[in-house]
């Protein structure tokens, strides 16, 4: 601690030490008042009603001056001013654009790029920054901690660290791999186009040619599909032994014979999900192997979850499209059946007429019902199974009407005319609601996609901006919280906008 008499003390050069200033009045002074001026702001006078020395301690950052008003025995006043006391206890500031960098070995980089330092007293101190660059080895892989250090005139020290992960330069290998994948993709696309062209040509020429009695030739694609189905069958038999999976596969039974003909049971859907998850995991491992890195626990779980649930998203979307097509064509089916009843045809003949007159999912459903009734199933059972497959309110209404008519009798033409009018009015009302709520739906879609677009834009402008979110544990926690908030927002908005009829 610096101790000086007030009459000679002055501290112009900034210091970070506390200052103790002693004012000693002469013998002719009977009393005096002093005040401290900090950064040109005047404090009130403090009275000392004797001739004793006073110690004034300065301990905070600022520019100080002390002013003393002394009174002698004749009550005359004398103003005594000190010199300048410059206190600086604030550390300088170092600004870094990035706290984490990944740099391939052999790539030159400027360690001072984007680095700034400044002080509250001296301003810019960038040229006074020192680093431990010479102590680090940037020719080997691994995490290097580059420390920036700056000292101001008062001796305050500030350090900041940038983590630099030196990685192998795999750009050429990745480029070769990308070119190889692109060539393979083009080859597969060319084979598919050639195959489709061959199939079309075969259909055009088949009516002018005689088919051989036996053709044992199997194409490469057919062979791959055949082997894949064998793997699925074996895995399905193994998984079918589990009681839990038997209950779980009931969730996928609705997809059988509706959105895809590959799977014949719900357990086969689960087998496909497991194999796809395994393929996603292999791709992730292969991608990290190119970077000479191992998968972390998060990077291991994410491909498995995405691969396992991607089929759910695809088939749910396809199933919703299937139901919408059935819903849109159901009114035409009711009209055809009503016209058939008016011309004196039976229910079986009306169902057969719908399967022939219409196309798409509704025709397939009515073909199933026609075959089921041809094999002896009753109208109640056939339409109940149809209602369970599609799960539409209109189909349930139609099933209930036919069940009542089959049990109690009645005028089927009037009943179907009433059903036709009800469905027509409902479809008309739905179209009007769609036109009225279209602008609101567009706003919802924009608000839903805006966060994703913002993330993509920021990631394109500054690729390292979101790096801490995927390289630190707190980052993964924040990502989880953000996903929960975003998904909750989407669900709430969709439920608000949903209109039930």
Task: Report pLDDT digits (tens) over 231-240.
Answer: 888 888 888 7
- pLDDT recorded at residue 2: 36
CATH architecture observed for domain 2-87: Sandwich (2.60)
Where in the chain are the domains?
A: 2-87, 93-169, 171-204, 218-410, 435-501
Measure the CA angle with vertex 344, ends 338 and 346; round to 5°. 75
Handedness of CA 187, 192, 198, 200 (dihedral sign): negative
CA distance 441 to 430: 15
Helix 297-342 to helix 412-461 angle (10° resolution) is: 150
Q: Could you tell me what percent of the chain has a pLDDT over 90?
A: 0
CB 389 within 8 A of CB 365: yes
- pLDDT recorded at residue 500: 61
> Residue 44: how many CA atoms within 13 Å on its side-chain side?
2
What are 266-277's pLDDT values in tens digits?
788 888 888 888
Backbone angles phi, psi at 170, to 5 degrees: -100, 15
Q: Could you tell me what percent of the chain has a pLDDT over 70?
A: 87
pLDDT at position 65 over 60? yes
CA distance 25 to 48: 11
Q: Among the listed ranges 44-48, 293-297, 323-327, 351-355, which one has the minimum average pLDDT value?
A: 293-297
pLDDT at position 290 over 70? no
Q: Among the listed ranges 252-261, 318-327, 338-347, 354-363, which one has the minimum average pLDDT value?
A: 252-261
CA distance 307 to 272: 10
DSSP string over 342-358: HTT--HHHHHHHHHHH-
Tell me the pLDDT band of 177, cut-offs 50, 70 and 90: low
CB 386 within 8 A of CB 349: no
Average pLDDT of the segment spanning 416-441: 80
- pLDDT recorded at residue 178: 60
Mean per-residue pLDDT over the chain, rounded: 79
Q: Among the listed ranges 39-43, 173-177, 490-494, which one has the minimum average pLDDT value?
A: 173-177
Tell me the pLDDT band of 216, cut-offs 50, 70 and 90: low
Average pLDDT of the segment spanning 300-319: 83
pLDDT at position 397 over 70? yes
- pLDDT recorded at residue 174: 61
pLDDT at position 4 over 50? no
What are 122-171's pLDDT values in tens digits?
788 888 888 888 888 877 888 888 888 888 888 888 888 888 888 776 66
- pLDDT recorded at residue 3: 35
Count CB neighbours of 457 within 10 A.
10
DSSP string over 58-109: E-SSEEEEEEEEEEETT--EEEEE---EEE--PPPEEE-S-SEEEEETT---
> Residue 168: how many CA atoms within 13 Å on its side-chain side?
10
pTM for the structure as a whole: 0.51
CA distance 271 to 289: 27
Average pLDDT of the segment spanning 461-484: 80
Token pair for 241: 């032994």
CA distance 62 to 85: 8
Tell me the pLDDT band of 7, cut-offs 50, 70 and 90: very low
Residue in 248, 386, 265, 259 with CA at minimum distance from that of residue 330: 386
- pLDDT recorded at residue 210: 60
Measure the CA angle with vertex 322, ends 374 and 227; round to 5°. 80
Same fold, 2-87 and 93-169: yes
- Choose between 139 and 488: higher pLDDT: 488
CA distance 486 to 455: 13
- pLDDT recorded at residue 5: 53
CA distance 106 to 139: 7
Backbone angles phi, psi at 168, to 5 degrees: -70, 145
- pLDDT recorded at residue 207: 65
Residues near 271 by beta carbon (within 8 Å), at least 6 away in sequence: 232, 235, 236, 239
- pLDDT recorded at residue 1: 33
What's the topology of domain 93-169?
Immunoglobulin-like (2.60.40)
């Amino acid at each position: 601690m610096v101790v000086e008499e007030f009459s000679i003390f002055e501290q112009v050069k900034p210091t970070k030490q506390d200052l103790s200033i002693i004012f000693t009045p002469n013998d002719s002074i009977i009393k005096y008042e002093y005040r401290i001026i900090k950064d040109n702001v005047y404090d009130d006078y403090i009275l000392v009603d004797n001739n004793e020395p006073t110690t004034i301690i300065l301990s905070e950052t600022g520019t100080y001056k002390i002013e003393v008003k002394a009174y002698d025995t004749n009550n005359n006043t004398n103003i005594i001013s000190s010199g300048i006391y410059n206190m600086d206890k604030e550390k300088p500031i170092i600004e870094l654009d990035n706290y984490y960098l990944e740099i391939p070995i052999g790539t030159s980089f400027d360690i001072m790029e984007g680095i700034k330092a400044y002080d509250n007293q001296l301003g810019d101190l960038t040229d006074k920054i020192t680093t431990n660059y010479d102590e680090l080895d940037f020719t080997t892989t691994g995490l290097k901690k580059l420390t920036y250090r700056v000292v101001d005139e008062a001796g305050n020290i500030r350090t900041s660290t940038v983590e630099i992960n030196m990685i192998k330069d795999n750009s050429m290998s990745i480029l070769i791999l990308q070119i190889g994948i692109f060539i393979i993709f083009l080859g597969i696309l060319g084979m598919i186009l050639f195959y489709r062209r061959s199939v079309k040509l075969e259909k055009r020429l088949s009516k002018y040619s005689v088919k051989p009695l036996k053709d044992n030739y199997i194409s490469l694609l057919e062979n791959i599909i055949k082997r894949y189905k064998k793997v699925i069958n074996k895995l399905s038999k193994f998984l079918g032994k589990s009681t839990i999976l038997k209950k779980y596969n009931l969730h996928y039974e609705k997809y059988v014979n509706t959105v895809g003909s590959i799977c014949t049971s719900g357990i086969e859907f689960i087998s496909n999900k497991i194999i796809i998850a395994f393929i996603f995991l292999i791709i992730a491992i292969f991608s990290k192997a190119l970077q000479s890195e191992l998968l972390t626990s998060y990077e291991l779980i994410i491909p498995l979850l995405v691969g396992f649930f991607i089929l759910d998203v695809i088939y749910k979307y396809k199933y919703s499209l299937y139901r919408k097509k059935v819903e849109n064509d159901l009114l035409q089916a009711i009209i055809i059946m009503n016209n058939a009843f008016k011309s004196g045809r039976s229910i079986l003949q009306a169902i057969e007429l719908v399967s022939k007159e219409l196309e798409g999912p509704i025709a397939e459903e009515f073909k199933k019902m026609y075959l089921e009734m041809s094999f002896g199933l009753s109208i109640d059972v056939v339409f109940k199974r149809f209602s369970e497959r599609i799960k539409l309110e209109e189909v349930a209404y139609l099933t209930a009407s036919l069940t009542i008519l089959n049990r109690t009798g009645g005028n089927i033409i009037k009943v179907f005319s009433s059903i036709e009018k009800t469905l027509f009015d409902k479809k008309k009302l739905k179209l009007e609601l769609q036109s009225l709520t279209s602008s609101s739906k567009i706003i919802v879609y924009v608000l839903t996609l805006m966060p994703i677009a913002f993330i993509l834009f920021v990631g394109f402008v500054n690729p390292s901006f979101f790096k801490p979110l995927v390289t630190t544990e707190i980052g993964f926690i924040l990502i989880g919280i953000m996903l929960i908030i975003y998904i909750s927002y989407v669900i709430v908005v969709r439920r608000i906008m949903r209109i039930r009829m």
